[in-house]
Each structure stands twice: as structure tokens, then as C-alpha cells.
């Protein structure tokens, strides 16, 4: 069904999976040569993470701490797991769980730690792209955290003496 006398949209739900969308142009101009883009998003309760910076720097001899600020969207009260992906084999980072009504509700700290070498030599420097994934418990969706300075989840970690 095509109807476009205006660009205001109206969404009506008849059953949980059926939707009717009406689009109209406020100036009364419409026709087959006009194109409109409609985006629908699932507004399920999720945790969304962000960082203050997109480049994180640390030293191999002590843990590098990465602070992730969490926002609970659409009334989310579920636990969330924050994990760092993309590290080299010389380093490790344990996931952190965020719980409602605890200190970890709005902010968590990931700790990147050097894996000790068997011969006792110092761990080498490492640099590369990383991603921080925020998973809301019970949801199939995982959101990537981004820096507040950009809308893209491109983060860089540099660990050097």
C-alpha cells in the first residue's frame, strides 16, 4: 500500500508483529519520483558503553585500566558483561559484570594485565586496535562501546615502557 500525502509518520500496532506505517509530505508533494527512508529500531532494554578517549596508553609492568561508562537504555535492569576483544597473546583482560544498584551499575573498569613469561623476561610492548563489547544478560545483542569523541567503535590500545 502506497500513501504519501506528507512526511509525518504514524505507526500503529495491530498485533505484536504487524505494523502499519503512514508517511506524508508536509508540503503536499509526493509521487513515484520521491523517495523516503524509514528506519525501525527495536527499543529493547540494553546496556550501552562509552569511553572518554579512543586511544588508551599503558605500561607493561603494571595493569592498564580502561574505564567504561554504562548507560541503561529503556529501563534496563539486567546484568551486563563488559569484555575487551583483540588483545595480543602477551596480555589478558578479564570480563567485568555490571549489576543494578551496585557500584558497577554505571561504570566498570577493565584491567589489561601482562601474561608472565616462563623465563622471567619482561613482556614486550604491544599496540593495536581493540573493541569493547557490552552484552546485556538474556539478550542476543552485543553492543560495541565507543569513545565520546566519535560515534564509531574504533579504539586503539598501546602498551609500551
Residues 53 and 29 in one domain: no
Identify whether residues 8 and 56 lie together within a single domain: no
Domain shared by 88 and 149, yes or no: yes
pLDDT at 23: 73
* One domain for residues 83 and 120: yes
pLDDT band at 144; cut points 50, 70, 90: very high
- Domain shared by 17 and 70, yes or no: no
pTM of this structure: 0.71
* Angstrom distance (rounded) from CA 5 to CA 23: 7
Total domains in the chain come to 2
- Do 123 and 56 have their domain in common? yes
Q: 98 CB contacts (<8 Å, ≥6 apart)?
A: 47, 70, 79, 80, 81, 82, 104, 105, 108
Residues 29 and 51 in one domain: no
pLDDT confidence of residue 15: 53
pLDDT at 5: 43
Q: What is the CATH number of the domain that holds 109?
A: 2.60.40.2030
Residues 56 and 36 in one domain: no
Domain encompassing residue 120:
46-159
Could you list the beta-strand ranges (E) of the chain. 9-15, 18-23, 46-51, 55-58, 64-73, 80-85, 91-93, 96-98, 107-114, 126-136, 142-144, 146-147, 155-159
**Does residue 10 sit in the same domain as residue 83?**
no
Same-domain status, 78 and 14? no
79 and 102 share one domain: yes
Residue 95 CB contacts under 8 Å (≥ 6 apart), including other chains: 81, 82, 83, 84
pLDDT per residue as tens digits for the range 12-43 = 444 566 777 777 777 777 777 877 777 776 67
Q: Is pLDDT at 148 greater than 50 in this prediction?
A: yes
**Does residue 147 sit in the same domain as residue 129?**
yes
Which tens digits make up the pLDDT trace of 42-91?
677 788 899 999 999 999 989 999 999 999 888 888 899 999 999 988 99
Amino acid at each position: 500500500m502506497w500513501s504519501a500525502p506528507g512526511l509525518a509518520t504514524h505507526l500503529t500496532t495491530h498485533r505484536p508483529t504487524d505494523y502499519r506505517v503512514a508517511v506524508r509530505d508536509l508540503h503536499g508533494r509526493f509521487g513515484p519520483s520521491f523517495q523516503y527512508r524509514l528506519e525501525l529500531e527495536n527499543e529493547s532494554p540494553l546496556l550501552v558503553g562509552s569511553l572518554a578517549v579512543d586511544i588508551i596508553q599503558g605500561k607493561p609492568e603494571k595493569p592498564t585500566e580502561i574505564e567504561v561508562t554504562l548507560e541503561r537504555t529503556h529501563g534496563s535492569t539486567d546484568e551486563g558483561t563488559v569484555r575487551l576483544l583483540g588483545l595480543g597473546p602477551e596480555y589478558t583482560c578479564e570480563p567485568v559484570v555490571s549489576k543494578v544498584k551496585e557500584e558497577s551499575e554505571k561504570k566498570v573498569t577493565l584491567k589489561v594485565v601482562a601474561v608472565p613469561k616462563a623465563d622471567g623476561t619482561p613482556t614486550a610492548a604491544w599496540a593495536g586496535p581493540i573493541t569493547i563489547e557490552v552484552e546485556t544478560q538474556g539478550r542476543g545483542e552485543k553492543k560495541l562501546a565507543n569513545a565520546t569523541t566519535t560515534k564509531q567503535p574504533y579504539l586503539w590500545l598501546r602498551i609500551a615502557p
